[in-house]
Structure 1
Amino acid sequence: MPVHPEIKKVLDSIPQSETKQKLIPEEYRKEFNAPVLPVEKRVQVYSVEEKLISIPEADIPVRIYTPEERDSYPLLMYFHGGAFFAGNLESHDEIVRPICMESGYKVISVDYRLAPEHPFPAALEDCYHATKWATEHKDELKWDGETIAVAGDSAGGNLAATVSLMAREKKEFTISKQILFYPSLDLDVSEFRYPSIVENGKGYFVESDQLAEFNSFYLLGDVDPHNPLVSPVREENLENLPAALVITAEYDPMRDEGELFAENLKKSGVHVETKRYEGATHGFLGKFTHLDEYKDVYKRTAAFLNKNVVRS
């Protein structure tokens, strides 16, 4: 279907420039990190707690969302998007709140260190150790001791997938499920291998010719983009990974790499659910989930989280 008319209105309002501007992370963050809705108009949750947790290398801010008062909760770790160099707790607050309330999970949103000040593997290590911290603070968090899932959008989807890979190898804790919203899973854009990068390369918020510059901040120091902890779609052994929900958008340059990863997981015996949202673009969560066509994404997420799935 065509781009949703409400999304097209926003796309048409963006000034076009013939000259490619050098991307300055600090300037980009100012616009990206601004939430769409004022806090009083966001989904209300039972409680929100700000906390600073100590993990190796850094003290990391987290925001803990509780859906209601209970004796115990399943946990969901949320890793925000922003191309590894933007985004924070506030930029994704309006996404995390409905996930918390629809699912009944206690959600911990992680403000991991950003590139280029902290390139790979800082963000991955922060997200992994924050997840480990949660499993080690069962009483404080009222964790049920069994269910801890990971989720993220765009770059955060990459981090959710790579934390799942690390957890499988390290065996320090077990991830129950992974939720990847329009994930960025292949950071090698030296050639356009996916049709969606060409088809959706210009005019849909994220432009394909920007991707190499975006990724360069995270990949400082000659990091190999073929490393599966950088580009999880490159991982050849996908057995024994958590069940996955992979959400993609029709007009997203990264659509095909997310769908390829989902297909590869299925071939490896992992339970996978997928949904491509037609007429949507990269980054539609929060910004366009008030529209009828996309508002069910949070209910779909909650249904997946609460489904009894036997892990492969």
Structure 2
Amino acid sequence: MQLYQRPEILLEIPENIEFHNDIFYSEDSKDIRQSFHLLKPKQQDKKLPLIIYIHGGAWHHGDKDLQIPHLIPYVESGEFVAIAINYRFSQQAPWPAQKDDCLAALNYALKQTDKYGIDTDRVAIWGSSSGAHLALHLANDSRINAVLAYCPPSHFRPLLDILEYEEHELKSHILPDSPVIQLIGQDPLQAPELLLDASPYEHLNKETCPILLAHGTKDEAVPYNQSLAYLNKAIGLGVDCKLITLNNYEHKFTHPILDKEVRNFFDYQLLGKGYTPESLTLT
């Protein structure tokens, strides 16, 4: 077992995985926030599909290190290469810096196809929370085959509609210290176009790639209705979009059936095997 340690985390990397840590993807920056980890099978005789994980953390905290355990089983199977990326926090740079960093990481990775054995025709993005928001922003990129999004902040237009209310259940989402407002770095009433540009819902179109959403019905950080709205618009556009509803689950969740459906989603979209993903409800 290989060990990778930082002050707050110790990662155990199986011996059959080749681990490349802290690869800087921006030519003019050595900021650790603009870097990624890459994992690939040590024994690899052909190019493999790529899964890119974007971490959550309300756009102002979190780290790529924490996503490695999620990716290890996929790489250990010998069927995938995987990347976990960092991006600049909102306190460093406002929107769209986060999306720009994710695109820069994607661009860099796909230029290293021979070095790391990446099949550039089979690429998926996986994200959770704010990372899922960024993953959905890459869903229109023609190089992306599929996106998996856990509890994504995806629909910001309703925030504009509630600014006039003195009392509202979502009032905390538009306070100056709320993550979405910090993301754009401005009063949304002064820059509504910036808030809407940051909203994945507004960018959904007929060219959006297949998407699997997962969301808890009791999520107080990101309302479940956001995924319902995104799903309904996607279906109306003819986009292949499915939603796994976790009944009575909050913002963070684990579920064995969800794990099974996620693995099938990647198998189906990137390896051409498994069964057709469908929407379902888990309890």
**TM-score scaled by length of structure 1:** 0.69
Give yes or no for the alignment of 1:111 onto 2:86: yes
- Alignment counterpart, residue 228 of structure 2, candidates 259, 262, 274: 259
Cα separation, partners in 2 of 1:258 and 1:232, compared to 1, 3 Å: same
**Contact 1:45 1:65 (8 Å CA) reproduced:** no
In 2, distance between residues paired with 1:225 and 1:110?
29
- For structure 1, the residue ranges without an aligned partner over 5 or more in a row are 1-32, 169-173, 202-206
In 1, distance between residues paired with 2:117 and 2:126?
20
In 2, distance between residues paired with 1:101 and 1:160?
23
In 1, distance between residues paired with 2:8 and 2:174?
21
Give the structure 1 partner of residue 43 of structure 2.
69
Cα deviations by residue, 1:236-261 (Å, 9 ceiling, x for unpaired): x5111111111111211431111221
**Contact 1:99 1:301 (8 Å CA) reproduced:** no
Cα separation, partners in 2 of 1:271 and 1:210, compared to 1, 3 Å: closer
| Percent identical residues | 18
In 2, distance between residues paired with 1:308 and 1:119?
33
Give yes or no for the alignment of 1:281 onto 2:255: no
Counterparts of residues 178-189 of structure 1 (less than 5 Å): 178-187=147-156, 189=159
- For structure 2, the residue ranges without an aligned partner over 5 or more in a row are 1-6, 273-283
Cα separation, partners in 2 of 1:208 and 1:258, compared to 1, 3 Å: farther
- Alignment counterpart, residue 24 of structure 2, candidates 29, 40, 53: 53
Question: Which protein has greater RCO, CA pairs closer than 8 Å, 6+ apart?
Answer: 1
> How many pairs are equivalent?
249
Secondary structure, in 3 states, of the residue corresponding to 1:164? coil
In 2, distance between residues paired with 1:144 and 1:55?
21
Secondary structure, in 3 states, of the residue corresponding to 2:233? helix
- Alignment counterpart, residue 214 of structure 2, candidates 247, 250, 260: 247
- Residue 46 of structure 1, CA deviation: 2.3
Cα deviations by residue, 1:217-269 (Å, 9 ceiling, x for unpaired): 2111457455554001123x511111111111121143111122122112211
Give the structure 2 partner of residue 302 of structure 1.
263
- Residue 73 of structure 1, CA deviation: 1.0
Q: In structure 2, what residue type is equivalent to 1:233?
A: Y
- Residue 91 of structure 1, CA deviation: 3.1
Q: In structure 2, what residue type is equivalent to 1:260?
A: A
Secondary structure, in 3 states, of the residue corresponding to 1:58? coil
Secondary structure, in 3 states, of the residue corresponding to 1:149? strand
Give yes or no for the alignment of 1:209 onto 2:161: no
**Contact 1:152 1:158 (8 Å CA) reproduced:** yes
In 2, distance between residues paired with 1:74 and 1:39?
23
In 2, distance between residues paired with 1:234 and 1:157?
15
C-alpha RMSD of the superposition? 3.1
Q: In structure 2, what residue type is equivalent to 1:305?
A: F
Counterparts of residues 91-170 of structure 1 (less than 5 Å): 91-98=66-73, 100-101=75-76, 104-165=79-140, 167-168=141-142
Q: In structure 2, what residue type is equivalent to 1:209?
A: S
Q: In structure 2, what residue type is equivalent to 1:164?
A: A
Secondary structure, in 3 states, of the residue corresponding to 1:92? helix
**Contact 1:80 1:109 (8 Å CA) reproduced:** yes
Q: In structure 2, what residue type is equivalent to 1:63?
A: H
Q: In structure 1, what residue type is equivalent to 2:268?
A: K
In 2, distance between residues paired with 1:261 and 1:87?
25
In 2, distance between residues paired with 1:192 and 1:107?
40
**TM-score scaled by length of structure 2:** 0.76
In 2, distance between residues paired with 1:221 and 1:211?
11
Secondary structure, in 3 states, of the residue corresponding to 2:172? helix
Q: In structure 1, what residue type is equivalent to 2:92?
A: E
**Contact 1:154 1:181 (8 Å CA) reproduced:** yes
**Contact 2:88 2:101 (8 Å CA) reproduced:** yes
